[in-house]
Structure 1
Amino acid sequence: MYMQEEMSMLNLRTMNAEDLPVFKKWLRMPHVAKWYHEPLDWIEEVEKQDSAFCWIHHFIAEYENKPIGFCQYYACKDSDELWGGYTEMGGSYSVDYMIGELDCIRKGFGKEIVKQLIEKIRCHGDAERIVVQPEQENAASCGLLLSCGFVLNTENDIYVMTI
């Protein structure tokens, strides 16, 4: 586990076109591809982040100025996902995240990425909650969400954090 001051060196910066090659590489890696189905859809979202998908906030996670992962957040009302009724409640946001670099897995970076995403979402005046639905088999992601303060809504298999 990296020490806390080292984690503060993790930075989320806005993703840009120059990040596409590393993003595409990560999507092909077995530890990412297992959970990020439909890689062409993910690539299209990033390629059209200034147009059709401008409602999604895409970021590259960097540690010591080296790209190590990807994350994003969005208001649920802007997507076509119902989120088990949370979308119609208003104030719901969702996040996605990945550690792309194999040597950065299980070192606390995922938790720090989620914490930083939570803080970004808190800056939105309408934000009331964050909802996330990892695959149940993704024990690492489910555990990470619980460790960040999310609670599992067992009726919908959705992790929820009130902010």
Structure 2
Amino acid sequence: LRHQASGAIGGYLEKRDLYRSSPHFRTSGADRCIHLGIDIWLPAGSPLFVPLDARVHSFAYNDRPLDYGATILLEHRFGKTHFFTLYGHLGLASLQKLREGQALQAGQPLATIGNRDENGGWVPHLHLQLITDLQGWKGDFPGVCSEAELDLFRQICPEPTILVVQPEP
């Protein structure tokens, strides 16, 4: 993700009222309005790169309005450390050459940012989420939660900015 790109970043655990406008973000009567990842606004077609060695866990085209559009979940293992990264709002062509279990190396091309017609209808951006427990999900995972679900999701979706922002030496 680094590769000398520039864009706006933000949104982890941010409460966003815009999600209240869609039934897609309601669960059992509760509004899911707390953002569990970060958004990186980049132009459609911008390339994305694998941040850490990984295997493709799953991928899908989540095509409902205001969903992720093209989505990739990568699995990362480093000794006893095991976690997943989710990339949402991608270009649909990003899914064409992937296969589950495929090994990917840090720095290799992964995907491109999708346009509104293929990314769920959003302004072009990447939704990046760090996940420690997929709870059985494949090709998708909640990107927002309700206040009642926040304690659980805060534990299994830690803050992902470290994947895109390098600490100062």
TM-score between both structures, scaled by the size of structure 1 = 0.33
**Higher strand fraction: Structure 1 or Structure 2?**
2
* Higher relative contact order, chain-length normalized (CA < 8 Å, sep 6+): 2
**Higher helix fraction: Structure 1 or Structure 2?**
1
